[in-house]
Amino acid sequence: MKTRVTELFGIELPIIAGGMVWCSGWRLAAAVSRAGGLGLIGAGSMNADVLREHISKCREAVGDKPFGVNMPLIKPDAAQLMEVVAQEQVPVVFTSAGSPKKWTSWLHEHGIKVAHVVASSLFARKCEEAGVDAVVAEGFEAGGHNGREETTTLCLIPAVRRATSLPLIAAGGIATGDAILAMRVLGAEGVQLGTRFALTQESSASEAFKLRCLDLNEGDTRLLLRKLSPTRLVRGGFYDSIEQAENRGASGEELLEIIGVGASRRGIYEGDIDNGELEIGQVASLLKGRNVETVEQVMRELTEEYAQALRQVQNF
C-alpha cells in the first residue's frame, strides 16, 4: 500500500482518520497514527488552549510518528488556532471549508504539510494553484458538512483525478478494505475515513452517539440544511424538526433559530440522541450491529480486507 500519500506524510498505510468535531481528540488521532495511518485532531470543536493540549498529548502518545490537525477555515478563531499549530510544529494540517489560497503558503513557511478538502474538481484545481501538497475529495455520502454539488464519491474521484496531478485522497462512503481498493482503482492514492473511526473506542464521542450510529439502517442519514450549509444528519428529533421546517419552506433564518447553539456538542459529545445534532456518514449502515471497536482492530481489518480484495482481483 505504498503510494504518494504514504510517501508525502511518512506513514505506512494511506489511511487517514478525518478530523471530526467532538470525535477526533488526541486519543483517536494518536491511535490511528500509532497503527500506521495518519490521525488528525479535529480543531473544529476546540479553542486554542484545548487544541494546544490535544497536540501536546498526541505528540507524547505517537512518539516520532506523524499526525495532523484538521482546520475548518470558516472558524472565527482560525488565525489563533493556526498560531497554535505553528508554535507546536504540527507536521500536517488538513484545511477545509474555505479557500486553499488563504493559509497554504503560511503553513509551508512554518514547515507544515498541507492537504485541502474539496467537493468538486473546480476546487481541486484551486488547490493545485494554491500549492497544497495533497487534495482530499469528499463525496455526498460523507457525514456532517458537505459540498453543494452533491457529487457522490464514485463520480467525484474520477473528476478530481482528471483535474489535478496532486496526490489524491478519497473520502465519503469508505469504511471497508474493499472500498479502499475500489478508490485506488478510480485513481485515489489514499483514503480518509470519518464514520468508521468516529465509532471506535478511542473516539471522544459519547457512547450513546456511537451506539445509535451503529444501529442505523439504509436511509437513516440524509443531507439537510441546503439553504444554509448542506449537512448530513442522522434521523431523530433534531433531524425531524429541521426536515419539517424545510418541508414547509422555512427560510435560512428560521432554520438557524431551530438549530440554536451547541447542537452538535449536545448530540455527539454529550449523547443527547433525541435533541442533539447527530452527524455521521451514510456508510454507517454498513457497520450496523458491530461493537465499538478499537482503532487497532479497525486498522487490522481494513488492511486484511484490502489484501483479500486485491487477491480476488487477480482472478478477474
Q: Which residues in this chain contact a copy of itself in the complex, by CB under 8 A?
A: 1, 120-122, 139-141, 148-156, 158-159, 172-174, 176, 178-179, 181-187, 218-219, 222-223, 227, 247-250, 282-283, 285-286, 309-310, 312-314, 316
Q: Which residue's CB is nearer to a copy of itself, number 184 or number 212?
A: 184
Q: Which residue's CB is nearer to a copy of itself, number 134 or number 181?
A: 181
78-87 long-range contacts, Cβ below 8 Å, gap at least 24? Answer: 78/103, 80/48, 81/43, 81/46, 81/48, 81/51, 82/106, 82/107, 83/48, 84/48, 84/51, 84/52, 84/55, 85/43, 85/51, 85/55, 85/110, 85/112, 86/110, 86/112, 87/52
Q: Which residue's CB is nearer to a copy of itself, number 16 or number 93?
A: 16
Sign of CA dihedral 241, 24, 189, 184: negative
CB-CB contact of 186 with 214 (8 Å): no
Q: Which residue's CB is nearer to a copy of itself, number 63 or number 314?
A: 314
DSSP string across 157-216: HHHHHHH--S-EEEESS--SHHHHHHHHHTT-SEEEESHHHHTSTTS-S-HHHHHHHTTP
Q: Which residue's CB is nearer to a copy of itself, number 111 or number 288?
A: 288
Q: Which residue's CB is nearer to a copy of itself, number 3 or number 275?
A: 3
Q: Which residue's CB is nearer to a copy of itself, number 131 or number 158?
A: 158
Q: How far is the CB of 106 from a copy of itself (least distance, A)?
A: 29
Q: How far is the CB of 178 from a copy of itself (least distance, A)?
A: 6
Q: How far is the CB of 95 from a copy of itself (least distance, A)?
A: 21
DSSP string across 223-259: EE-TTSS-EEEESSHHHHHHHHHHHTT--HHHHHHHH
Q: How far is the CB of 262 from a copy of itself (least distance, A)?
A: 28
CB-CB contact of 171 with 147 (8 Å): no
Q: How far is the CB of 72 from a copy of itself (least distance, A)?
A: 21
Q: How far is the CB of 191 from a copy of itself (least distance, A)?
A: 12
Q: How far is the CB of 300 from a copy of itself (least distance, A)?
A: 19
Q: Which residue's CB is nearer to a copy of itself, number 37 or number 281?
A: 281
Q: How far is the CB of 149 from a copy of itself (least distance, A)?
A: 3
Those residues whose C-beta lies under 8 Å from the C-beta of residue 183, and which sit 6 or more positions away, are: 153, 157, 170, 174, 191
